[in-house]
Structure 1
């Protein structure tokens, strides 16, 4: 058996699924059979998938049967995905409206991690273990009441939000406005804050995590002060749960406050810690507002930044390029790297090429214009002649220095080689590297207009 990522639209439900009372003969019949008993359970599954994604610890088993990819294990989750993408497959109008509403308010994956079985017999052992109980310890052994109680006793998003507010008090004891907003959030909007910090994308971009009774920060507190001030002000005031309910809305919120977020290059080698049990911080984490100016001048130790971007060129805004170039960027920013790596890889190359070429032509440059490497290099030399801008370090390295072949070969292959199979990590690395270059290129055009 081997693993593969498959498009939901390419999958077929098992017409001999043991969940069916009788074999089915079409997709619509298979879906109706799954909805026949307790349809609310499939609705709840769809809602959970839209909010949290498909359970990554439970892979779908697929049998390639001629031109059909038959789902042997995971028919309910695949049916839920199909109904979210096409509510018209539901047998009743009420269900069609329910699935359509869920799809509008959440994220619906288009690809699914699967295990490819060579035969039904090969998959039978694993399906049996999944659905027939403990099997003397070989299958899944359920928790006893005590174990279940201990798990439920772990911190909920709301409890983590309260702990995070305590850390904010410890980090910024002199910012009365921030603390006042934090108090309002704790008393009236605590679930909204819990929803935000329960989102991995938000946590990664803020550089925070909660482990037990400890809050970890990957950025110096002074770097977090602008975004935390904005976040608590928004949650205490104009931002309601309707504006951050779905994952897409939370990502949109992050894009809207991009200027307040810490620079990724400022991540620490070792995170700062706030401990509830000792009510203390470790590292230089207790920062007053008055100290921010002096702290800003200190260069924190650089750390390899985490891959957090889900969409291409997240946070990049082009205001001075042509309308067409800005529209190309905006459309590219709708692409989810993990779901459409091939399209994402092509658009990385396309957006970079379009923007640097426009800069070349509008500024009337003549030298090095015949190659992408030359055009990128010319923009880099113009915006960072001393090579001392941290945000452009990766653009220099990936296009001009020892790893320059990545642009010449990898970016070229993304478009021109049918053998190219781009990795999402590779696409994300390029998106992160060239995003700052696009912003700097846009600034060059702003200077020209002045």
Structure 2
């Protein structure tokens, strides 16, 4: 099929809402198509170049943020806290792991969520499932669960506000390494991570003082600013199509809703609409791959999404679960490596480790998350490949949604601050603890490959 930005409409599509008013949907799509792009082609090309370095083993990808962004919980403080913990994690990985880190947030567009069922039933009442604030509302009522096209407009403007704030943080001095001591989040100071975080900050401060004493300019933008990219699952294709633009310099199509877009495990059918749509835009593309993925399916995705075999274009995000990855992934990885494809391999240790407690909370155990990360790194080590990145659902706030870790969340304390719209997220302490452990793993990985 010849690709154009609306040719996906002729193909099988999954995980889409049924809008009752198609005329209103068309009006919203037309309005979105005339609004300014949220990101720009030059920024996307910069990310692709950075991800090419990751693919070659010269950097590491840190991708993380909310499970699903919310209209009601949107605030500058939440964005600042998420950005801050991302900086802390990146510094830990860079300083301890010895690699530059490419920072990509699940932010400024992560509003739509795939669901296991099109409908939800409570006390005999059956309504459409909640699919994220860009589509419908969480409240269980017929009015709230009816998909509303105008919610795409609200998602666009919230994304624009988020991007504006992130760019200010990244370029306006907040990311200055001289201010690393001020990055500490208040609730981290009282747990056992504080000592390691303080030691790290002291080491970096001494290194900067040494550089200055040697006559090196420590006011260099590389030390005072950072690059921070955005990403989300490109699930709601009417929204993605409306924000697709032609780059005036190259004539290529770019998805201008985010720098990196990914396809979920439920929508990665090789002949389906999502794979087809993303095959035609020049953004870096991620694909979530669960425990049933085969090497032939990955190679088919490579052929469709990265036919020129470009480094930095395709990110395979493995999400198999701690109990499954050691059984399923080695064979798949070994067979794909034989083909010489340019793939950035990253690990999503969240989705395959979701369980439900006896009182109905969805949660994830920190030890299971860490176990899958360790297995991922070790499998790559054993096969001579590079574990290039990690993909996390996390918050910069002190939520209590995943059990275990330094914050010592238990099933009994999940209710204290269980705030997620959909799936459980690591809080800042858990995310930082994971980053320190991952830095140690990467340091060991590098030594074993010298």
Q: Same fold (TM over 0.5)?
A: no
- The higher relative CO (CA closer than 8 Å, separation ≥ 6) is in 2
TM-score by length of 2: 0.25
- Name the one with the larger strand percent: 2
- Name the one with the larger helix percent: 1
Q: Which entry has the higher C-alpha Rg, 1 or 2?
A: 1
